[in-house]
Amino acid sequence: MYFQKYFEKFKTYHFEFKHLTVLFFFLLFFQIIVSLINKSSITSFLSSTKDWYQKDAIERIANLTATSLELTMESFNVNVQPSEEESSRIIQSFNIIFSQQMLQHNIEELCIFAFKGDSLYIIRDGKGLFAFLIDKKNDQTEMDRGHLSTILLYKKLQNKLSNEEQIISISDSLNNLHVFVPFVIRGEQLGAVYMKNTPNFSSFSDQLIANQNESTIIYISLILLGFISMYFISSYSVKERDEVQNKLLAEHEENLKKQFNYEKELAFTKRIYHTHHKAEKIMGFIKEDLNKLNTDNIDTINYRVTKYSNFISRVIYDMKWFDPPVQTIRGPMYNTNLNEVLKFIVENIFLRVSRISDKIKFNFVIDSELPEVHVNEFVIWELFEPLIQNAIEHGGSDNIIILIKTYYDKVTNASTVHIIDNGKGIDERLLLKNADGIENIFLENISTKSNTVKEGGYGCYIAYQIARRCGWKLNVSNNIESGATFIVSIKNN
C-alpha cells in the first residue's frame, strides 16, 4: 500500500522515469559505439605492433642464426677430411645452433636453402649441413614436397637475395612471417637461411579488451548513478515550477485564442466594410437606372439591373464567409466571357461616376479568341474592380489613360489580362518580394496611398487572394516610361 502511494506520487513529477530510461539507453548506445571504435583502434594498434615486433625479432634471430652457422663453418677446413671424432663435434655444433633457435617462442621452422651446381638442397640439421660441406650425398632436395611452397617462394626471391644481399621478410595470408637471410661462406653466397615465425598475441589482446570492457561497464554505471541522483534532486526542485508553468501556459493559450478570434473578427469586419462600400455604390446605380426606366430603354435597364442585383447578391454572400468554398468561386458550371465582363465593369461602373468620367480614358485591345473561363462572373468583378480602381486613384495625373488588353496564346493554351496605366507608377518598395515571393503591394494593410486610411491596403490584397483561389497568377510591374501594369495569367483547362 505504501509502495503504491509512493509510486502514484512519483508519477506526478514532470521528469519521469521514462525520461531517465531514454537518456540511459541513448548513453548506453553511444557508449557501445565508443567501445567498438576503441576496440577497433586497439586491435589495429596491436596488429601494427605485432607486425613490427614480429619482423624485427625474427630478422634479428634469423640473422644471428646465419652468423653463428657461418662462424662455425669458418672454424674448420672443408678441404681436409676431418676425423670421425672431429666430424661428430662439428655436427653437434651445427645441431646445437639449429635446436637452440627452434626453442625460441613462435619459431615453427628453420632450414637452409643451398645450391650446389644446379641442385637446390634443403638442410634442416647439423648432419645434413656437414654432408653438404664435405660433398657427401644429401637427399633433402627441392623434391621434398613438404616444403614446395617455401621452395617456390625462395626461387622467386633468389635473384633479389643475390643482388642486394639484404634480409627479406614476407608475410602471408595466414599471418606467418617468412624470413630469408643470405648465407655466405668465405665470401661466396651459397643460398639463404630460412626461418618461419607465427606470433600469438591473443592472450595479451584478450586482456586489453577485457580491461576496456570493464572500464566501459564502470563508466556506464557511474553515469547511471549520476542520472538517478540528478533525477531525485531535480524532480523535487522543479515540481512547483512545473505547476506554475502549467498555469501560465493555460493562461497564455486562452489569451492566444482570444487574440486569434479578435484578429479573425477584425479581418472579417474589414472585409464586410470593403464589400459594403461596393454594394452601396452599385445600389446607387440601380436607383438611378430605375428612375430612368421607360419603354424605350427597358431591355437595357433590365439587363444592367439584373447584373447589378446579382453582384449585390454575391457581395452579401461574401459577408457570410471569411473563406468561401471553392465550388462557389470556380467550377465547370461557370462559363464566363472575360472580355464581356471587363467591358461591363468599365462601362457600367467606372464610366458612370461623373467626377472621374472627364479625367479617365479607357482603351480596349480585345482578343476575340479568348476562351471562356470556369469562374463565377461576379468573383471576376471582385478581382478586376480593385485593380482598375488602383490605376485610377494612384495614377497621379489628371489625364489617365487605362489600357485593358486581353491575349490568348494557342500554343500554351494560356490567357493573360493586362491593365496598363500611364500614371506615376508604383513605389519600388511595394514591388519588393517577401520570403514567399509575393510583392508587398499584395500584402494585407499595405497601401499605395500617401495618407493611409482605415480601409487602405485591402483592395490589391483581396484581388491577389481571389486570383489565387481561381488558380490564376497576379503580378505587377512598373512600365519603362510611366505607369504600372497588372498582369493576370490564366492557365486554361
The predicted pLDDT at position 419 comes to: 93
Query: What global pTM score does this model have?
Result: 0.47
Cα 204 to chain center, whole Å?
43
Q: How many CB atoms lie within 10 A of CB 16?
A: 13
The predicted pLDDT at position 145 comes to: 45
- Inter-CA distances, 332 with 218, 369, 408, 415, Å: 74, 19, 20, 18
| Contact (CB, 8 A) for 332 and 375 | no
C-alpha cell at 185: 661462406
d(CA 445, CA 440): 10
φ/ψ bin of 47: left (φ > 0), alpha (ψ from -120 to 50), beta (otherwise): alpha
pLDDT in tens, the chain (493 residues): 555 665 566 555 555 556 666 766 777 677 778 777 877 777 777 777 777 776 777 777 777 777 777 777 766 665 666 777 777 887 787 777 777 766 666 777 888 888 777 777 888 887 877 777 776 555 444 444 456 777 788 888 878 877 877 888 887 777 778 888 888 777 777 788 888 877 666 666 677 667 777 777 787 777 767 767 776 776 666 676 677 778 888 888 888 888 776 666 666 566 665 666 677 778 888 888 888 888 888 888 888 888 888 888 877 776 666 667 778 888 888 888 999 989 998 888 888 764 555 678 889 999 989 999 998 888 888 888 888 888 887 766 668 889 999 999 989 999 999 999 988 888 888 888 888 888 888 887 665 554 444 444 577 888 888 888 888 999 999 988 888 999 999 987 7
Number of H helices and number of E strands within the chain? 12, 10
| Contact (CB, 8 A) for 463 and 419 | no
CATH of range 323-491; options 3.30.565.10, 3.30.465.10, 3.40.640.10, 3.90.1300.10: 3.30.565.10
Task: Judge residue 105's burial from the number of C-beta atoms within 10 Å of its C-beta, 0-12 exposed, 13-18 middle, 19 or more buried.
Answer: exposed
| Contact (CB, 8 A) for 145 and 151 | no
- Inter-CA distances, 449 with 385, 395, 455, 481, Å: 17, 11, 11, 22
d(CA 419, CA 463): 13
- Inter-CA distances, 305 with 112, 285, 446, Å: 122, 8, 34
DSSP state of 371: P
Q: What ranges do the domains of the chain cover? A: 20-200, 323-491
d(CA 417, CA 33): 64
Q: Which CATH class is domain 20-200?
A: alpha beta
Q: How many CB atoms lie within 10 A of CB 194?
A: 24
Query: Which residue type does 180 have?
Result: F
What per-residue string of b and e applies to 331-365 under the rule 16 or more CB within 10 Å gives b? Answer: eeebebebbebbebbbebbbebeeeeeeebebeee
112 Cβ contact partners less than 8 Å away, ≥ 6 residues apart: 69, 121, 122, 123, 124, 129, 183, 191, 192, 193, 194
Establish how many alpha carbons lie within 13 A of residue 148's alpha carbon, considering only the half-sphere containing its beta carbon: 3
DSSP3 helix / strand / coil % (the chain, rounded to 5): 55, 15, 25
